[in-house]
Amino acid sequence: MLLALAAAAAAAAAAAAAVTAAPPAAAQGDDALPAAVLRELQRARLPAEAMAVVVQEAGSARRLLALRAHEPRNPASLAKLFTTAAALDQLGPAWTWTTPAWLAGPVRDGVLEGSLHLEGRGDPKLVLERVWLLLRRLQQQGVREIRGDIVLERSAFADEAGSPADFDGAANRPYNVRPDALLLNYKSVLYTFVPDAGAGVARVLVEPPLAGAEVQRQVPLAAGPCGDWRRELKAQFDGPAQVHFGGRYAGACGERAWPVADADPASYNARLLEGLWREMGGRLHGTVREGAPPAGAAPSFELRSPPLLEVVREINKFSNNVMAQQLFLTLALQQDASRPATTAAAQRALRDWVAARLGESDGVLIVDNGSGLSREGRASADLLARLLQFAQGAPWAAEFASSLPILGQDGTLRRVSGVTDEGRAHLKTGSLAEVSAIAGYVLSRSGRRYVLVALVNHARAPAARPALQALAQWVMSDGAAP
């Protein structure tokens, strides 16, 4: 079996290498950039050398354009392409996570004479609705009262040093939530503001219900335009027990929602489970604590996640960082379930997969957390192009391509102005303070399909988006001048 897998990996690597081995047919100087792209770069005051690019016909060695293709660049969220492709290849599109539950004691007259145990195994989709379904399943098995505790097992992922504020100091931003083997509702709270003009206030709706939390339930309405409504609310999220809004909310904003990462992620699971269980009419005599499940006992039931293809779609369409990190650590856990998954083990697993499927990685691949939320991440445009070439010939090609945002229509590319031929490109985006990037597939007007990768690393990189858009338009015309 191992020999067969090794042979298959070697064959796949050879195939990927064959696709990219031929030298690019295009010129390599900066003047090879399309005129429209150069104009947009100049307008943004960006040097041409800030962009690394590969445009190559899918399934072919023919390249329309290749500039600085082997230079290491920060790919930002394009790193998710490595994570999601490796997962689809190793686990398959239909693969699911399971969250087992044990009723440790008999159930008599609606009372569980013992504790409820839950074991986290990395499911990135344990959102509020699915936690409700888990507790609803408990009620359908006749439990209304838990005499013992709710006991949580989280050891599938190692507890690693770090804080949600490490990346950019914004600990209350949901994209900074750290991975957890039992990640409930992304450890976040959704505040929805609904204007009530008759009462002169905006009602504050809060999900999920958290035990012990006191949230201000209304704020005064303000006249005038919507503006920076979050700033005007003067929110105080410093502690989980009390949330206060010291400002006002403009009625012109209509209904708006504000997702916020919880201020105390370590206690979030306990507060969510207790709060939701009690809201559902359940009673809990004990506490919510951590501990091991009953040794040797089969689970009473399991909550199964949506299939991997749905998770990959959400990761790539909406660039969900915490889901990508959950998937990244899952790669390590599936490789060795006998020990807690670590970031280092996930890095090794991904590097091994890249070497087996894509061959040499130019010695520059750094996918440190699987999501691209990193200042140290590195990849080359050539390696990303090879990844896309490999993926378009894989059995899961359709699932992978359809997970990428459609230009001008959905995901992170839904709001793109001035685009002609909307829907002709599936492109993953990547954005950081000094990174702007796209990678994916473009269907030209002639019917040819191209792999497109463009990485801009520069202090003014966010201003490069019109240039990236112009590049995609150029590819749609098969590289012809407008």
pLDDT of residue 11: 43
Q: Are strands 425-432 and 435-443 parallel, antiparallel or unpaired?
A: antiparallel
Structure-block tokens of residue 128: 């509020």
Question: How deeply is 391 buried, as exposed, middle or buried, from its count of CB atoms within 10 A (0-12, 13-18, 19+)?
Answer: buried
**Measured distance CA(373)–CA(77) in Å, rounded:** 7
Q: With contact defined as beta carbons under 8 Å apart, do 322 and 178 qualify?
A: yes
227, 218, 215, 187: which is closest to 200 by C-alpha? 218
Supply angle C-alpha 438, 74, 80, rounded to 5: 60
Structure-block tokens of residue 165: 């504020």
Amino acid identity of 190?
Answer: L
Q: With contact defined as beta carbons under 8 Å apart, do 321 and 124 qualify?
A: no
Considering only the C-alpha atoms of the chain, give the largest distance between any 2 of them, rounded to a whole number of Å. 79
Domains and CATH numbers, the chain: 2-94+308-476 (3.40.710.10), 97-305 (3.50.80.20)
User: Could you report the average pLDDT of every consecutive run of 10 residues in the chain (482 residues)?
Assistant: 40 44 47 92 98 97 95 98 98 98 97 98 98 98 98 97 92 96 98 97 97 94 96 91 93 98 96 98 98 96 98 98 98 97 98 95 88 97 98 98 96 83 94 97 96 98 96 92 50
228, 262, 225: which is closest to 243 by C-alpha? 262
Q: Are strands 425-432 and 145-146 parallel, antiparallel or unpaired?
A: unpaired
101 Cβ neighbours under 8 A, 6+ residues apart: 116, 117, 118, 119, 134, 137, 138, 299, 300, 301, 302, 303
Q: With b meaning 16 or more CB within 10 Å and e meaning fewer, what string describes 317-354?
A: bebbbbbbbbbbbbbbbeeeeeebbbbebbbebbeebb
Q: With contact defined as beta carbons under 8 Å apart, do 362 and 382 qualify?
A: yes
**Measured distance CA(339)–CA(420) in Å, rounded:** 51
DSSP H helices, 44-196, are 79-91, 128-140
The residue to which tokens 């690693």 are assigned: 160
- Cross-strand partners of 440: 427, 452
Q: How many CA atoms lie within 13 A of 268 on its CB side?
A: 23
**Measured distance CA(412)–CA(403) in Å, rounded:** 12
* pTM exceeds 0.85: yes
